[in-house]
């Protein structure tokens, strides 16, 4: 994939105006207050797997609407006292996967809570999911998750996903093996977009690891990339021609730009300059709006895979520095 977006010097300065609804904060305060009416009711069931240095729990809790959300909790077995925790969110169409996929953070002395994304992972061979989306949607949608309930912010799919994700941080903070004052949220692509939102909605988190984030600067993304998942929105608009105003109004409540403008914690971003799934200008737009301490790692020659294992090493160093 050749370079197709703005030159890097322009990307570093790219800070577009935001399309923010006047009731953005009220919408999310109401959403999280409604969710809080349901007890978290976390369940940690020991998972029988022959790993010598990690305790593993098949985890579930009550997310949006009281729906059960599944995940894996891995805790270093030799830990003395509560440990920091990374709450990990998953890329589009994937699920929590397998326990052995998530051993890096426990190897570094941190717990990790891997959170399923409701309704996803049903056809992933490498990271299967275990959580349904019982709510569905009340309006037509294009195939995929991007347009489920998109005509109404209250009904939109990502209202449920972001709420589940915030609740996951509360689950981690309440576990006796975890230091609730030392939690980092993390994810790539869709997971990066979720982590970005959670860091704004749950400002007590100590850091955010946001890789090639999706769900950010929707209007520009749908105009300059021909790749899914953003193209799901384009296909919906091509079919439902009169609905554009309602669609972009809904998306404004979920746009990473508006969460980034509220982000106060330390953040490590990454961007790939040949990324035609989450274009670099959409990533820099969020990064440049981020309000807290921040760094960004630029991968000039990569597409949506970004920095891969190289970026994970950057994250390990960043979190080690963050927690001293």
Given the residues 179, 275, 276, 281, the one annotated as active site: 275
CB atoms within 10 A of CB 281: 19
Asked about 204 being catalytic, the answer comes back as no
Nearest CA to 66 out of 37, 96, 28, 31 is that of: 37
Distances (CA, A) of 191 to 79, 88, 95, 232: 27, 7, 11, 18
Which one, of 115, 113, 108, 111, lies nearest residue 313 by Cα?
Answer: 108
- 304 catalytic, yes or no? yes
Is residue 316 within 8 Å of residue 108, measured between CB atoms? yes
Q: Is 189 one of the catalytic residues?
A: yes
Do 62 and 147 touch, CB atoms closer than 8 A? no
Compute the half-sphere exposure of residue 320: CA atoms within 13 Å on the CB side of its CA: 11
CB 271 within 8 A of CB 279: no
Give the C-alpha separation, 158 to 31, whole Å. Answer: 12
Tokens of 248: 């972009």
> Cα–Cα distance between 80 and 77 in angstroms, integer?
9
Q: Would you say 234 and 149 are in contact if contact means Cβ atoms under 8 Å apart?
A: no
Catalytic residue among 189, 252, 266, 270: 189
Residues catalogued as catalytic: 189, 275, 304
């Amino acid at each position: 994939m050749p370079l197709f977006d703005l030159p890097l010097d322009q990307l570093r300065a790219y800070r577009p105006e935001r399309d923010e609804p006047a009731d953005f904060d009220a919408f999310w305060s109401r959403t999280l207050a409604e969710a809080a009416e349901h007890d978290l009711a976390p369940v940690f069931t020991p998972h029988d797997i022959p790993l010598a240095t990690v305790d593993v729990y098949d985890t579930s809790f009550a997310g949006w609407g009281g729906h059960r959300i599944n995940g894996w909790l891995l805790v270093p077995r030799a830990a003395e006292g509560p440990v920091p925790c990374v709450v990990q969110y998953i890329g589009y169409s994937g699920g929590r996967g397998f326990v052995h996929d998530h051993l890096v953070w426990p190897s570094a002395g941190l717990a990790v809570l891997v959170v399923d994304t409701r309704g996803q992972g049903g056809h992933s061979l490498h990271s299967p999911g275990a959580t349904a989306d019982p709510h569905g949607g009340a309006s037509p949608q294009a195939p995929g998750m991007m347009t489920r309930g998109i005509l109404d912010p209250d009904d939109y799919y990502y209202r449920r996903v972001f709420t589940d994700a915030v609740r996951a941080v509360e689950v981690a903070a309440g576990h006796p093996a975890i230091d609730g004052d030392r939690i980092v949220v993390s994810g790539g692509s869709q997971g990066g977009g979720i982590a970005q939102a959670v860091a704004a909605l749950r400002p007590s988190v100590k850091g955010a690891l946001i890789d090639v984030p999706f769900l950010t600067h929707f209007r520009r993304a749908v105009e300059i990339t021909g790749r899914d998942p953003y193209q799901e929105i384009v296909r919906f608009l091509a079919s439902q021609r009169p609905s554009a105003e309602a669609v972009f109004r809904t998306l404004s409540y979920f746009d990473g730009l508006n969460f980034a403008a509220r982000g106060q914690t330390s953040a490590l971003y990454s961007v790939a300059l040949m990324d035609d799934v989450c274009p670099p200008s959409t990533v820099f737009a969020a990064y440049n709006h981020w309000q807290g301490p921040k760094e960004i790692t630029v991968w000039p020659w990569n597409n949506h895979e970004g920095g891969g294992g190289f970026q994970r090493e950057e994250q390990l160093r960043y979190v080690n520095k963050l927690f001293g």
